[in-house]
Amino acid sequence: MQLSQLLEPQHANLRGDVHGGWIMKLVDEAGALSAMRHSQCRVVTVAIDQMMFLQPIRIGDLVTLEASLTYVGRTSMEARVAVTAEDPIKGGQTYTNTAYLVYVALDDRGKPKAVPSLIAETDLEKRRMDEGAKRQEYRLRQRESELQDLDR
């Protein structure tokens, strides 16, 4: 799944640097689209892992988000979204960041709904799936400790 957008002045600060929050929104949209395509239903974002911005993105850059699913549970799907930016005049693509997000498929009543499993064929897909399973275990432990914090 690929999503591209030309970045305009409303996406940036007065110095011409694009807001990180705008890129986060695009990352979320690209990941959600890949989850929707896989599950063929509506999804909600349930977790966003840390995001780092390795390079600035400027007004006039064409940003491209490449999203693919890396791990699928029963109702949840982890998407990997890689972001690159290109100055259309100078050319050349700059890698800016990769993020992992988790979506949950919902049925018509808004309840989590089972999704088709993900088949990893290549070594890269298998490695990413194993890593995704470990990240998901970690997130669920984090969720438990957040829920415990609420009770205190």
Q: How far is the CB of 132 from ligand COA (least distance, A)?
A: 11
Q: Toward ligand COA, which CB reaches closer, 75 or 84?
A: 75
Check residue 138 and give left, alpha or beta (phi > 0: left; psi -120 to 50: alpha).
alpha
Number of C-beta neighbours around residue 44 at 10 A: 13
How far apart are alpha carbons 146 and 15 in whole angstroms?
38
**Segment interacting with ligand COA, rule: CB under 6 A, options 18-26, 38-46, 63-71, 83-91:** 38-46
Q: Interface residues for ligand COA in 106-145 (CB under 6 A)?
A: 112, 139-140, 143
Which is closer to ligand COA, CB of 54 or CB of 114? 114
DSSP output for 42-111: -EEEEEE-----SS--BTT-EEEEEEEEEEE-SSEEEEEEEEEEE-TTT--EEEEEEEEEEEEEB-TTS-
Please state the closest distance from residue 106 (CB atom) to ligand COA, in A. Answer: 6
Stretch touching ligand COA by CB under 6 A, among 3-11, 39-47, 55-63, 116-124: 39-47
Closest separation in Å from C-beta 95 to ligand COA? 26
Binding site for ligand COA (CB under 6 A): 44-47, 73-76, 102, 104, 112, 139-140, 143
